Structure 1
Amino acid sequence: MTKANRWAWIISLVAITGAVLVLSFLLSIATNNRAFYERHYPWLFWVNVTVAGFLVLVIGIAAVRLLVRVQRGKFGSRMLLKLAAIFALVGVLPGVLIYTVSYQFVSRSIESWFDVKVEGALDAGLNLGRGTLDTMVNDLANKTRIAAERLADRPSSEQRDIAPLALERLREQLSAQDVAIVGAGGQIILSAGSATGSLLPDRPSGLLLRNARTTRVVSQLEGLEDDAQPGGARIRALAFIPSTNFVLAQQDRYLMVTQPLPAALSTNALAVQSAYREYQQRALGREGLRKMYIGTLTLTLILAVFGALLLAVTLSNQLARPLLLLAQGVREVAQGDLSAKPVFASRDELGGLTRSFADMTEQLSEARVMVERSVAQVESARSNLQTILDNLTAGVIVFDREGAIDTVNPGATRILKLPLSAYRGRRLEEVPGLEAFAQSIQQRFELHAASPEAGERDQWQDSFELQTASDRDTLTLLVRGAAMPQHARLMVFDDITEVVSAQRSAAWSEVARRLAHEIKNPLTPIQLSAERMQQKLEPKLEGTDQAMLVRSVGTIVAQVQAMKTLVNEFRDYARLPAAQLRPLDLNALVREVLQLYAAAQESGVLHCELGQGLPAILGDGSQLRQVIHNLVQNALDAVADKPVGRVLVRTEVARTESGDVRAVRLQVVDNGPGFADKVLKRAFEPYVTTKSKGTGLGLAVVKKIADEHGARVRLANVSAPRSEGEPTEAAVAGAQVSLSFAKFAPADAAVSAPQAAAPGAQAPAH
């Protein structure tokens, strides 16, 4: 049993007790039991006052608690207050109306009880009864006195010995109940009666004997007292029997006659007497009686009103509880709390409503669990997708229906070398450097939406040239576009610059191979024919003609030799053998190659800075020698026309934040004119050169060998760093070629020693 139910039971018991006491009090009034009324009225009054006070206290506490809830703004308090007020008005207003009517009725009824006619009627009835009874008493007294005198007139012998038969005859003559001869002390000498057997009549009192001796006869009415029983009233007459003998020792005798009153007369006499006495008492306490009735009515009203108020609060609470449960549950559901909701234990519609709401909340909770599970799955899929996007080498950009950037993966930022994530929510053309590219992409999407080509119904694919503003490089992008739901657009692109460059290199290799095959074959016959012609004709010519022949043949032989050199370079580029990777000391290899450029080092043009603690790399010594030769020779050629030329060959180790080796880097820096923009964009393609006598295959061979070694080659125009001991002014703008190796030999691997350069060896010409 809950606390609320326990209080409800206690209050109900108190109310029932008060109602029972009030009903008992009203029952005592209804039965006209004035003695019970007078005896129990005080404690009934105080019990009713106590019950009323207790009810007032309970209602006051409930009202204060309700007002406190309203002031604190607790949910449902105003509805509970309104319901309590409605029930209270329903209980109080009828009670006040009934009290007003009852008050007027009681006041007027009490006044009507004490009307003058009623009082006269009671007096007349009482006098009438008294007259009748007095007549009967006097008549029996006269008859008794006459009978006593007759007994006195008898002879002395008969007076001394009165026979019982004579008394029985006298009783019949007087129509009496009992006839007795009483002595002077009140003792019964002789008696005769209709209902007496062995029992004797009651002895008369001494006062009655003295009055009879004085007045000769007395009579009295007995059995009409307040506490007498109806039907027990009687008339007793006592007459002195005079004596005619003058005997001193003779005792006095009396004749006592008892005659019963009729039962109806006795009952009526008692009723009239009681009514008259009660009327007189109430007439004397009329105001008190009115106050008594009004007080009782007021106490009854107080109990009824406060009982109604208490029931109003209880019923309103019972009625409001399911509504409050529903309201609280709705508030909790609105706040996201879908836990199990309490149910109002009743079989009515409100209880069913709370059960339905609890079932609905449970279904919502299950639905939310399913939604959360689905959201978790979606988030997991989205996380997986994001992980995939983050690790894709291709760039991915998603545009919303307005054309603004919605999603960007790191691959797009890496390829375009722009912070695209900072431009989310903005259009692609707002990104600096991508205006023309964004316009081209927009036109391609519109073209695809308007008239897709065959095979492009779901997506389109195209390549675009993009010049970045960061390093002024030209990127070749392979872009694929597709439409997404809700008018979104997807763009996936790859940087195929290296692929295109490789395709061009492969194409030039094929061209070189064919040229070498087609050109080299006729060169030797041409040279031999020219030399034979010189041998045959030179002795036969003289002077100017001979000089012209020698000069012409020399020109033919020199050009044929140049053609052979060119064809050999074509052949070498096309047939570069696969690299044989072995552990190699890069610093030792650089020292070996630079021995061929001792004159440049002695003149102060070539400088060398070798890093310390370089790990051994995996490389092909012969091919890397060719790379170093090409880079150093190109740098020396670039500074050949400068008054103070500087070329720096440098090796270093690139490490991660944790100290691990990330790459071994070889750099060749010069303070020459640097790379032109058109050359910088296509420097690694064959036959791209700024030299008047160069073939343009040097950097192409370097790029091909670097690819065989898994190394990365980068070209840039930078400020050429000064060498040790040089002033700061010596650092001027120039070119830099950087070759980074990422393949390292195991720590315990044997490093192959480079072969010593042959004395007087020269660098290869390019």
Structure 2
Amino acid sequence: MSRPTRWIWSVALVAGIGAALVLAFVLSLSTAGGGFYERHFVWLFWLNAAVAALLLLVIGVAAVRLVLRQKRGKFGSRLLIKLAGIFALVGVLPGMVIYAVSYQFVSRSIDAWFDVKVAGALDAGLALGKSTLDALQADVGAKARLAADRVGDTHAPSPLTLERLREQIGARELTLLGHSGQVLATAGVAPGSSPPDRPPANLLRQARSLGWASQVEGLDEEALAVGDTAAPRVRAIVLLPDSSIRLTASDDRFLMVTQPLPRKLAVDALAVQAAHGEYQQRALARDSLSRMYIGTLTLALILAVFGAVLLAILLGNQLARPLLLLADGVRQVAAGDLQPKPVFASGDELGGLTRSFADMTAQLADAREQVQRGVAQLEGARTRLQTILDTLTAGVIVFDREGCIDTVNPGATRILGLPIAAWRGRHLGELPELETFARSVEQRYEQLADRSELGGDHWQDAFELARTDGATLTLLVRGAPLPGEQRLMVFDDITEVVSAQRSQAWAEVARRLAHEIKNPLTPIQLSAERLQHRLESKLEGNDQALLLRSVATIVAQVDAMQRLVNEFRDYARLPAAQMKPLDLNALANEVLALYGQAHDRGELVVQLAEALPRIMGDATQIRQVIHNLVQNALDAVAELADGRVEIGTARSVGENGELRSVRLFVQDNGPGFAEKVLKRAFEPYVTTKAKGTGLGLAVVKKIADEHHARLRVVNLHADERSDTPITGARVSLSFSVLAPVPSPETDAGPAPAPGDATQVH
């Protein structure tokens, strides 16, 4: 037996003893009679007070233990207190109701016992009994006097005379007594019966002094219990008259008449007398009686409360143990501990609940192991998939069922040039730059859903997209649905591929045109010059002038066609770049020397950065790039009064101060590029000039690709917003392939001659 169980049984034993004392006390109240209160009131009161104090002490100890358990933070203490409070409340509330009702009942009952009507009735009954007895005494005295008168002066009547007198007056017994009460003669006594008793001396004295006396005898419970000989009776004594002269009292004679009382009358008189006496005693002990009853009720209430609390502790412990076991197990499971849980050994529902919880915990442990293995596998697969996505050059975007961005790989951010990853959870169309593109993609998905019944599971299309930096992208986009109503979009930047395909196609066209056109140009020019040589001397006037104009026109157009063919040939047969360390500022100065007049007029402004690192490049091709860019810019501002062209170089450094590239830029304040031209500025034969071939920027693009440089063309706006008026254009070329920094030994050697690879073609 555990210590708490022993303590509970000890307390239960004390409670049982207290309940037995209270029951014994209540039983004694109903059987001991009225005098019990006065005799045992003190020790009963203190005994009940001691039992109540002991019970209150036990309840206080139990309450203190629960409070201390809660303060120590023991698990389940609140539940125990709550259960104890509920059970105690269930016991206390009915007990308090019963106590209140009983208190009122006892108080009102005791008050009813001592009501004025009850006291008056008892007094009236007692007076009625006395008056009845007095009447009987008077009647018996009258009979005795009558008999004495009839005896007359006879000093010693005969027994026969006494018997005749007894019958005449209707008495039970008639006795002649001597002066001291001795029986001289009697009548009415049954044969074999003992003679009548001597009357009391006081009765004789009263009769001698008053002439007659009477009294009621045998009116008590003991006399009634003896029998007929001591039955209640009325005895009357009369002094017999004597006309002779008596010298002493020894000559006195008395006549005694004895008349029995009805037994019922005697019993009723005794009962009324006893009730009246008890009522008087109870009236005197009224307050103590009330206190005793109320004390008994209070002690019973304390026992009921204690029993409720004890029952709460017992039942609460029995109920709380499996519940606390479950709660502790739930807390451990919530903390992630899925170790095997203990089971409450009982066959009831709570025991079954703990067993079910233990089984559930074991199943959860198995499920968690499986989930952990699955999560590990899924995490590995996700890591592999993320690694694949991160290393893909193509852009990948996954949309959720709401059409919002869910997954983005770095390729998508790199291709689009926008922080797509920062827009997770939002629609692609919320980016202003991708609004049109998002609508087109959504239409493709809707079309795929419409033809899904025909077996279509993906779509593919090409889109042109303008980036924020002014570049135009050609994207090859593929889309497909995923499980869970998700969507997958994969896209590649095929701008370079398309541009290369176009450049290759135009190069092939240029090569064929150069071949087909160049061959007849020389015979045409020679034939025209021969005609002029043969016919000029034979013609005069207008005919001669017409001949000269026609031949000059033919020769001029042949020269123009020759130049066009040479440009076609140069574009189609651009030689491979010979990479050498170059000083970009030096090359720019060499080319700008050809534009001295524009520089002097202020149309051309030079801003070259100092101590610019060398780049790896082909000097001839870089000169051609600078020449084409400057010439195009000057042509763009030729019709402007305040036309201005700026050429410069600069460094491009990263966030950590590391040199990333060397940039060459040419910008003007001309009308800029039209939107349709800006998207295809680097394609051959795209131009805004009336006499241009459209090969200038195409050649620049091919040279930039040869040098792995980045070429950008943008329009300049008044306040850097695309919706404000255009104030010019800028073409920039960023060289990321830099020449290695020479060692001190290399610096001590001869520097390359400025003329190396710097000849102007």
Shorter chain as denominator, the TM-score bin is 0.5 to 0.7
Q: Distance in 1 between matches of 2:655 and 2:425?
A: 34
- Are the counterparts in 2 of residues 340 and 362 from structure 1 also a CA contact under 8 Å? no
SS of aligned partner of 1:486: coil
- Residue in structure 2 matching 1:321, options 311, 317, 326: 317
Per-residue CA deviation, residues 260-306 of structure 1 (Å, 9 max, x unaligned), is xxxxxxxxxxxxxxxxxxxxxxxxxx99xxxxxxx999999999987
- Residue in structure 2 matching 1:739, options 719, 729, 733: 733
Per-residue CA deviation, residues 600-651 of structure 1 (Å, 9 max, x unaligned), is 3344332321112322222222221221121122223333333344322211
2:501 equivalent to 1:503 = yes
Per-residue CA deviation, residues 61-119 of structure 1 (Å, 9 max, x unaligned), is 5468889999x9944645433434557899999999xxx9xxxxxxxxxxxxxxx9996
1:548-567 matches, within 5 Å, as 549=547, 551-567=549-565
* Post-superposition offset of 1:665: 0.6
Per-residue CA deviation, residues 494-514 of structure 1 (Å, 9 max, x unaligned), is 343333222211111111122
Q: Distance in 2 between matches of 1:756 and 1:66?
A: 103
Quickly say closer, same or farther: Cα 1:389–1:324, change in 2 above 3 A.
farther
* Post-superposition offset of 1:386: 6.3
1:2-13 matches, within 5 Å, as 4-5=4-5, 7-8=7-8, 10-12=10-12
2:742 equivalent to 1:748 = yes
Q: Distance in 1 between matches of 2:606 and 2:337?
A: 81
* Post-superposition offset of 1:673: 3.1
* Post-superposition offset of 1:686: 0.8
1:366-765 matches, within 5 Å, as 366=365, 367=367, 371=371, 394-403=394-403, 412=412, 415=415, 432=432, 436-451=436-451, 457-466=456-465, 474-531=472-529, 537-538=534-535, 541-543=538-540, 549=547, 551-718=549-716, 733-748=727-742, 753=752, 755-756=754-755
Q: Distance in 1 between matches of 2:22 and 2:638?
A: 133
Amino acid at match of 1:591: N
SS of aligned partner of 2:334: coil
SS of aligned partner of 1:641: coil
Q: Distance in 2 between matches of 1:753 and 1:720?
A: 44
SS of aligned partner of 2:484: helix
Per-residue CA deviation, residues 657-699 of structure 1 (Å, 9 max, x unaligned), is 2211122111112233332333222111111122333222111
- Residue in structure 2 matching 1:81, options 81, 85, 101: 85
Q: Distance in 1 between matches of 2:399 and 2:700?
A: 41
Amino acid at match of 1:324: A
Q: What count of residue pairs does the alignment treat as equivalent?
A: 571
Q: Distance in 1 between matches of 2:346 and 2:540?
A: 141
Q: Distance in 1 between matches of 2:636 and 2:590?
A: 22
Question: What's the TM-score, normalizing by structure 2?
Answer: 0.59
Q: Distance in 1 between matches of 2:305 and 2:757?
A: 124
* Post-superposition offset of 1:5: 4.1
- Are the counterparts in 2 of residues 649 and 669 from structure 1 also a CA contact under 8 Å? yes
Quickly say closer, same or farther: Cα 1:604–1:393, change in 2 above 3 A.
same
Amino acid at match of 1:585: D
Q: Distance in 1 between matches of 2:686 and 2:415?
A: 25
Quickly say closer, same or farther: Cα 1:448–1:66, change in 2 above 3 A.
same
- Are the counterparts in 1 of residues 471 and 712 from structure 2 also a CA contact under 8 Å? no
SS of aligned partner of 2:656: coil
Quickly say closer, same or farther: Cα 1:94–1:634, change in 2 above 3 A.
closer
2:346 equivalent to 1:347 = yes
Q: Distance in 1 between matches of 2:586 and 2:570?
A: 26
* Post-superposition offset of 1:420: 6.1
Superposition RMSD on alpha carbons, in Å?
A: 5.8
- Are the counterparts in 2 of residues 464 and 476 from structure 1 also a CA contact under 8 Å? yes
1:57 matched residue in structure 2: 57
Per-residue CA deviation, residues 107-163 of structure 1 (Å, 9 max, x unaligned), is xxxxxxxxx999679989xxxxxxxxxxxxxxxxxxxxxxxxxxxxxxxxxxxxxxx
Per-residue CA deviation, residues 706-746 of structure 1 (Å, 9 max, x unaligned), is 1111111111222799xxxxxxxxxx932221111111222
1:121-200 matches, within 5 Å, as none
- Are the counterparts in 2 of residues 92 and 308 from structure 1 also a CA contact under 8 Å? no
Q: Distance in 1 between matches of 2:94 and 2:352?
A: 27
Amino acid at match of 2:637: V
Q: Which runs of 5+ in 1 are unaligned?
A: 26-40, 101-115, 125-285, 288-294, 722-731
SS of aligned partner of 2:352: helix
Q: Distance in 1 between matches of 2:435 and 2:389?
A: 25
SS of aligned partner of 2:688: coil
* Post-superposition offset of 1:553: 4.4
Q: Distance in 1 between matches of 2:453 and 2:572?
A: 39
SS of aligned partner of 1:633: helix
2:114 matched residue in structure 1: none
- Are the counterparts in 1 of residues 671 and 729 from structure 2 also a CA contact under 8 Å? yes
Q: Distance in 2 between matches of 1:417 and 1:77?
A: 66
Amino acid at match of 1:55: L
SS of aligned partner of 2:596: helix
Q: Which runs of 5+ in 2 are unaligned?
A: 26-40, 71-75, 106-218, 228-280, 283-290, 720-725
SS of aligned partner of 2:84: helix
Quickly say closer, same or farther: Cα 1:373–1:448, change in 2 above 3 A.
same
Amino acid at match of 2:742: D
Identity of counterpart residues, as a percentage?
55
Question: What's the TM-score, normalizing by structure 1?
Answer: 0.59
2:116 matched residue in structure 1: none
- Are the counterparts in 2 of residues 88 and 312 from structure 1 also a CA contact under 8 Å? yes
